[in-house]
Chains A and B, each alone.
Chain A
Amino acid sequence: MKYSYFPGCSMEATGIEYAKSLNYVNRAIGLDFIEIEDWNCCGATAGHTKSHELGIALPLRNLALAEQQLPGLAMAVPCASCYSRMKYALQAAHSEEREKFSRLIDMPVEGSVEIVSIMDIYSVEKTKTAISAAITKRLSNLKIACYYGCLYSRPPKITMAHNIENPQNMDELVRLTGATTVDWAYKTECCGAGHHVDIPQESKPLLYRIYKNARANGANALVTACPMCMLNLDMRQGAVNKAYDENFDLPVYYLSEILAIAMGATFKECGVASHFHPAKKLLQKENETKEVV
């Protein structure tokens, strides 16, 4: 299976573990992500706060490039923010605003590209089967709270998501590894990652509530599929513990990291080694009791 690929800026920097692990999993199951040549930043999260036009035009250039370079392929977008912006751009390309935006980016655009997230891609039945087949370890010690974040679900008029309060597709993928997933209430509650730089203090209560509900429902780790959420949840756990006099110990993993580990990747290969919140221990314990499927 081939997809055109819009990595987004994070994948080259803060989301480097995501890029590594995605790569590992894709290789293992024979998925081909073809990077769009000369792609640009989608502008999230500042572009759309500046103007409606900028919020659409920046991602739209990438849609137009994909249509030119890789016609007919669905576009894989691994970051929730980029995914959301691309979906907005796609909607604009299908609206009466298409002409205007085509002029603003000085490129023809049809809106013929389908935008898909990593969860969408891995949930395709055939791919799911391939993932199952590639998994060699059972991570049965993990009790995962799957954290979907805001933008894969909302606004449903843009994302076309059906189950915006309690989505299930990431849970289903995580369970392929033998890990359990917990029912919890903060799957799609915002973590405040957008304010990570400007007003980081204000996102602490958001993170606190997320950790608290995950722990209360028996989770020992979080899984996400968004580099922005990852950075926020992983990097700031210590600060939240300090601010609330708490002792949350919830390593955060990318969906692809969990899958890669279950497929036999080393920590270095998939990036687990470089998390802020120690993430190896839980998996090491696991590795000791590994059983081959």
Chain B
Amino acid sequence: MARAGVFICHCGSNIASVIDVEQVAKSAEQMTGVVYAATNKYACSISGQEMMKQAIIDHQLDRLVIASCTPRMHETTFRKMLGKTSVNPYMLEVANIREQCSWVHTDKEKATAKAIDLVRMSLAKVLKNQPLFTSSIPVCKKCLVIGGGIAGIQAALDIADGGYEVTLVEREPSLGGKMVMLDKTFPTLDCSACISTPKMAEVGAHPRIKLMSSCEVSAVSGYIGNFEVTIKQNPRYVDHDICTGCGLCEEKCPTKLKSSFDQGLGQRKAIYKLFPQAVPAKPVIDAQHCTKLTKDKCGVCAKVCPLGCINFADQESYTTDTFGAIILATGYQLIDWGSHYPEYGGGAYADVISGLQFERLVNASGPTEGKIKRPSDGAQPKSVAIIKCVGSRDVAKAHGYCSRACCMYAAKHAHQTIEKIAGAQVYIFYIDVRTPGKAYEEFYDRTREDGAVYIRGRVSKIYEENGKLICKGEDTLIGKQVTVEVDLVVLETAMEPAANSGQTAALAGVSADKDGWLTEAHPKLRPVETQSAGVFLCGTAQGPKDIPDTVAQASAAAAKVLGLLAKDELETSPMISAVDTSKCSGCRFCEQVCPVKAISMIDIPSIYNGQKVKRTVAQVNSGLCSGCGACSAACRTGCIDLLGFTNKQILEEVDALWQ
């Protein structure tokens, strides 16, 4: 005879304010199989756990129903608790009476009745539970970091410094990401390149980091501790094993193109290094624009290269490696504002630029050597309008979210303009000024002190008239329309997830939210983990943030990975599929639906009409199976069961609803 205990959690007032928990406990006590029922203020707290442990001893319980928050929250907590008792950790069911009851209902009577139903259902299930036991798998002590911006750089260095091997995959020909494009960083105004390039160099020289530039992840299989990852090396057309980075090829290349690194404001060649301090410090060929590759003309680079590094026949290649953990640090891109804002000229005015373009203009190593010159005629602007929230906080045209960093770098841009151009007039159009960071508000104070004029109101239109850019706004604080006529307009545009970041994340089983930002396992308590065990995330891939937050998150992800790689073996969940081979017909449908390729077919000896024959049946790889249940749902003979969620358990649970 089963001896079940039922525990109802108040969750402070989260549950108890809507559900009559004592009533639920009283009802539970009457249910068949229950020998003890009680309530607790916080079941997850140490005292709550002690109370349940004591009840297990006092009443010789052999299984538990805990009615509390979602099992996603504390099922693991409770299982760990049971691990220290005589009850098998899998002889537990969590009835969700918070998210699925008290939080979504207001009628106390009905909510209490529903909670009793939920408890009865969980009880019906737990009565059919069987003890399950974990096994263990070895951990490959190597981490893959995807993305070579400041997030990926920081995470890679922390893990490598901790003693483990790291492979860092970067799509661009160099490390650096967005941070290395910036001029100065707020609020301290230290030079962005000066603080990021040493870290890049450190990655390039680190004995435990393998840097793979011009590479992309093309396939991920396996599971925590043992991911099999295929990495595509895009052709570089330059043999980096021989190349010394002398730069002769770049110097002689006759094809000049707009530099993406300089945001279209400067030039580069068809064979190029992304920027002077690039890591690796070796060039690649831009296949789309190289005339040798497109028209079979030129080939000057190959002629001048003293070491014969140029290989026009270079092809993409693939390598596969095993990793214990993966960090997604795929970063952001800026919105293509022109296609969203025709009222700002839609990109037709050369002197309406993005904030990142301004960074290149003001950067000493940028195309103007740090002199702020407007793109149209190279003249020094005497007046500048800075417009915030372009593409952010705008559900109608672009994104509803706040991009978080713009308020600060708008202030920085104003400060830099006033510092570099004597007598410059700067107007900042804003809706709110958000400066929640250490020394941020003080920076905003200083910018106003510098003389920047803050105008509260979103600009309706920007147009050109008689050589001036006219911004039409309203100063909402005086309630009057205002117009400024300026030489340069800087749009502080929204961050959005980097192109293809969603696809890359999906390879590793990580989902994205409606805006494309990668989803963390829990927004507060598991901010760098994902729902895919062994896959972590950091930086702007997860959502808009500034450099300090990005670096902090990168180190957090690294700490998580270090904790994982420090283990020699991992416990695996026993809640995986099991095949009843006596009923399996070998139809292979399960093999097709399995998303992690955990099912294969084997031949087993069998007897048919008194004859010995071989029969093909399914078998489950316990290391790969993630317990998703797809095979069980697909199985036509009903021979596959998900342990912990057997068909019998679930049907009992459903039946209990009608009792």
Residue numbers of A with Cβ under 8 A of B are 163-166, 183, 185-186, 212-213, 216-217
Report how far A166 CA is from B339 CA in the complex, Å.
12
Quick one: closest B residue to A167, CB to CB? B342
The distance in angstroms between the C-alpha atoms of A185 and B465, with both chains bound, is 8
Q: B463's contact among A163, A164, A213, by CB below 8 Å, is which? A: A213
Residues of A contacting B: mostly: loop
Q: Give the interface centre of A164, A165, A213 by most chain B CB atoms within 10 Å.
A: A165
- Is A216 a contact of B342 with CB atoms below 8 Å? no
Instruction: Please tell me if the beta carbons of B343 and A165 are within 8 angstroms of each other in the complex.
Output: yes
Task: Judge whether B342 and A185 touch: CB under 8 Å.
Answer: no
- Is the beta-carbon distance between B465 and A166 smaller than 8 angstroms? no
Contact B466 A216 (CB under 8 A): yes
Distance (Å) between the CB of B156 and the closest chain A CB? 45
A212 to B485 CA separation, bound complex (whole angstroms): 15
Contact of B348 with A212 in the complex, beta carbons under 8 Å: no
Identify the closest chain B residue to A185 (Cβ). Answer: B463
| Proximity string of chain B (336-355) to chain A, C-beta cutoff 8 Å, 1 when within and 0 when not | 00000011001010000000
Q: Is B172 an interface residue (CB 8 A)?
A: no
Residue from B342, B348, B466 in contact with A183 in the complex, judged by beta carbons closer than 8 Å: B348
A166 proximity list for chain B (CB < 8 A): 342, 346, 348
- Tell me how far the C-beta of B515 lies from the nearest C-beta in chain A, rounded to whole angstroms: 23
Q: Is B464 an interface position by the 8 A CB rule?
A: yes
CB-contacts of B512-544 with A (<8 A)? none
In the bound complex, what is the Cα–Cα distance between A216 and B342 (angstroms)?
20
Quote the shortest CB–CB distance from B77 to chain A (angstroms): 51
Looking at chain B, what size class is its interface with the partner chain?
under 10
Chain B min CB distance to A192 (Å):
15
Query: Could you list 17 A-B pairs, sorted by A, with CB under 8 Å?
Result: A163-B342, A164-B342, A165-B342, A165-B343, A165-B346, A166-B342, A166-B346, A166-B348, A183-B348, A185-B461, A185-B464, A185-B465, A186-B463, A212-B465, A213-B465, A216-B466, A217-B465
> B612 to chain A: closest CB distance in Å?
72
Chain A residues positioned under 8 Å from B342 (CB to CB): 163-166
How close is A116's CB to chain B, nearest CB, in angstroms?
Answer: 23
B321-365: which have CB < 8 Å to A?
Answer: 342-343, 346, 348
For window 297-343 of chain B, which residues contact chain A by CB distance below 8 Å? 342-343
A164-B343 Cα distance, complex, nearest whole Å: 9
Q: Whole-angstrom distance between the alpha carbons of A185 and B471 in the complex? A: 12
Within 8 A of A (CB), among B449-466: 461, 463-466
CA distance A93 to B594 in the complex (A): 50
Which A residues are CB-close (under 8 A) to B465?
185, 212-213, 216-217
Q: Which residues of B contact A213 (CB under 8 A)?
A: 463, 465
Taken together as a complex, chains A and B put the C-alpha atoms of A282 and B362 apart, in Å, by 48
> Bound complex: CA of A130 vs CA of B466, how far in Å?
38
Q: How far is the CB of A145 from chain B (nearest CB, A)?
A: 13
Q: Which chain A residue has the least Cβ–Cβ distance from B466?
A: A216
Closest approach, in angstroms, between the C-beta of A194 and any C-beta of chain B? Answer: 20
Complex CA distance for A212 and B348, rounded to whole angstroms:
20
Chain A hits for B348, CB < 8 A? 166, 183
* Interchain CA distance A183-B464 in the complex, whole Å: 10
4 new A-B contacts, CB < 8 A, other than A165-B346, A185-B463, A216-B466, are A165-B342, A166-B342, A185-B461, A186-B463
Q: Once the chains are docked, how many angstroms separate the CA of A186 from the CA of B461? A: 10
Complex: A183 Cα to B465 Cα, angstroms: 11
User: When chains A and B are docked, how far (Å) is the Cα of A164 from the Cα of B342?
Assistant: 8
* List of A residues within 8 angstroms of B466 by Cβ: 216
Residue of A nearest to B348 (CB): A183
Q: In the assembled complex, how far is the CB of residue A271 from the closest CB belonging to chain B, in whole angstroms?
A: 32
- CA–CA, A163 and B343, complex, Å: 10
Minimum distance in angstroms from A57 CB to a CB of chain B: 30
A217 and B463 CA atoms in complex are apart in Å by 11
A165 (CB) vs chain B CBs: closest residue: B342
Contacts of B97-111 to chain A: CB distance below 8 A: none
The listed residue with most B CB atoms (<10 A of its CB), out of A164, A185, A217, is A185
Q: A165 to B348: give the CA distance in the assembly, Å.
A: 12
Top 8 closest pairs, chain A to chain B, by CB = A185-B463, A165-B342, A216-B465, A165-B343, A216-B466, A166-B342, A213-B465, A166-B346
CA distance A163 to B342 in the complex (A): 8
**Within 8 Å CB of A183, what residues of B?**
348
**How distant is the Cα of A185 from the Cα of B348 in the complex, in angstroms?**
11
Once the chains are docked, how many angstroms separate the CA of A213 from the CA of B464?
9
With a cutoff of 8 Å between Cβ atoms, the chain B residues found around residue A165 in the complex are: 342-343, 346
A212 CA to B466 CA in the complex, in Å?
A: 10
Please give the distance in Å from B467's CB to the nearest CB on chain A. Answer: 9
In the complex the two chains form, what is the Cα distance from A166 to B348 in whole Å? 11
Whole-angstrom distance from the CB of A183 to the nearest CB of chain B? Answer: 7
Q: Considering residues B342, B346, B464, B465, which has the most beta carbons from chain A within 10 angstroms of its beta carbon?
A: B465
Min Cβ gap A216→B in Å is 5
Separation of A163 and B466 alpha carbons in the complex (Å) = 25
Q: A112 → chain B, closest Cβ, in Å?
A: 31
Bound Cα distance from A166 to B462, whole angstroms: 13
Give the complex CA separation of A204 and B328 in angstroms. 58
* Smallest beta-carbon distance B35→chain A, Å: 59
| Per-residue contact bits, chain B 57-76, to A (CB 8 Å; 1 contact, 0 not) | 00000000000000000000
> In the complex, A120 Cα to B466 Cα: how many Å?
33
**Which residue of chain A is the closest to B462 with respect to CB atoms?**
A185
Bound together, the chains give a CA A217 to CA B461 distance in angstroms of 17
With a cutoff of 8 Å between Cβ atoms, the chain A residues found around residue B463 in the complex are 185-186, 213
- Closest CB in chain B relative to A219 CB, distance in Å: 12
Chain A: which residue is nearest B342 at the CB level?
Answer: A165
List B residues 238-293 near A (Cβ within 8 Å): none
The answer for the CA separation of A217 and B468 in the assembled complex, in Å, is: 12
Contacts of B343 in A (CB 8 A): 165
What is the minimal beta-carbon distance from B469 to any residue of chain A, in angstroms? Answer: 10
Compute how far the CA of A164 lies from the CA of B465 in the bound complex, rounded to whole angstroms.
20
User: How does the 8 Å CB contact mask read for B223-239 relative to A, with 1 for contact and 0 for none?
Assistant: 00000000000000000
Query: How far apart are B659's CB and chain A's nearest CB, in angstroms?
Result: 44
Measured between C-beta atoms, what is the minimum distance from B147 to chain A in Å?
36
In the complex the two chains form, what is the Cα distance from A163 to B339 in whole Å?
11
